[in-house]
Amino acid sequence: MTTAFVLGGGGILGAVEVGMLRALFERGVTPDLVLGTSVGALNGAMVAREPRLPVIERLTDLWAQTAQSRDVYGDRPLRSVRRAVSTGTHIYSAKPLTARLAEEFGDTTFADLEVAFQVCAASIERSAEHWFDSGPLVPAIVASAAVPGLLPPARVETEFGVEHFLDGGLVNSIPVGRAVALGATRVFVLQVGRIDRPLSVPRRPWDVARVSFEVARRHRFTRELAEVPDDVEAHVLPAAGTSSKDDSMLAFRNFSSVQRRIDATYDASIAYLDEHLGPAPR
């Protein structure tokens, strides 16, 4: 059996994936393959480096530190406005995120990881889904998490030359199909909860882009999940502690409920695993 963990995108809601991971590791479920998009690329890299229960403590600390410092999206409003005006493309600098990742991973490469790991990003030049699976880890994660409008496109040298990348969620937010294509026979989908919430017709200009993106990402995920072969076991773990309030314009800066979301999703995931895999051994 080849087990894949598929970690989807979702900004601050990515904290719920820590609760899912804790539940999986406590049940003795470990991955042979990890795929990550956007914030799922960060969480996934931690897991691929240390695919065991102790990584949960490090992940929890990382999310707690981010909640306290808010350094990724921590610019003063005036500075953010000035950057948006001067660049015309983004509000925040990618330097704090890059520095945090470099502090965590240093010069780690994909080859250094214990488990096979791939990261999805959207190539601007090729208008294509691109999968990083070799070379330095940090540039790949930065590319996968380059949220349009918030962070600048990430410049990375690939086999196609120097390219610019945007958030992988634009092209493959929850890459179930990729896991199956790579030979997974059991897939655990770690998603942040947005796919569970009904969409409403947008009523404000800034809602249009969000709803359009959600339609596209949910359509692909639903299609790929339906196309999973009968001989592949697929589990979509439940997210808890999220709501429609997390879809507001400024929700990406609200880290106040990180631990609550981790704990709530852990409980929900334990219940799911007990139901679908049978009670945990005592």
- Token representation of residue 206: 């800034």
From 75, 86, 123, 167, active-site residue:
167
Q: Shortest CA distance to 6 belongs to which of 119, 105, 110?
A: 119
What residues have CB less than 8 Å from 177, skipping those under 6 apart?
Answer: 224, 227
256 part of the active site: no
Structure tokens at 81: 């406005």
Q: Quick one: 6 exposed, middle or buried, by C-beta within 10 A (0-12, 13-18, 19+)?
A: buried
End-to-end distance of the chain based on CA atoms, in angstroms? Answer: 24
274 is catalytic: no
193: left (phi over 0), alpha (psi -120 to 50) or beta: left
Q: Alpha carbon of 54 to those of 50, 60, 200, 230: distances in Å?
A: 8, 10, 40, 33
Catalytic residues: 38, 167
